[in-house]
Amino acid sequence: MNTRHNHHTRRTWLLILAGLALLAALACARQPSAPSPEGPVMGFFMGFVHGFLILFSFLASLVTDVRIYAYPNAGGWYDFGFVLGAMTFLGGGGAGSRKRRR
């Protein structure tokens, strides 16, 4: 029983340390300033397109200066379109919950 308790305690401390490391990394994140006030503001449709292309944008961001998420954007409507586009491309998870007939 003692080794099980030690394993549980060690796992708990590792999770706490991983969470603190994640918080420290997120504290360094910042949103860049807007390119220009006259620039186009992205809305729902562009959010949907950017969400749909999320995988390709991510791969391009690894080797170039492409960003996955547009800035400046219209806020909530852009976010909603982005999530819908990403769900559409990535499958949404609904098909995995359906029961199969035998």
Domain coordinates in residue numbering, the chain: 1-30, 33-92
Least-confidence region, from 79-83, 86-90, 91-95: 91-95
Do 42 and 78 touch, CB atoms closer than 8 A? yes
Q: Does 63 score more than 80 pLDDT? A: yes
Contacts of 48 (CB under 8 A, 6+ apart): 81, 82, 84, 85, 88
Question: Model-level pTM greater than 0.95?
Answer: no
Give pLDDT, residue 57: 85
Q: Does 81 score more than 70 pLDDT? A: yes
Best CA proximity match to 41, nearest among 77, 67, 68, 88: 77
Give pLDDT, residue 21: 86
Report the alpha-carbon distance of residue 102 to residue 94 in Å, rounded.
Answer: 20
When pLDDT is averaged across residues 74-101 and rounded to a whole number, the result is: 77
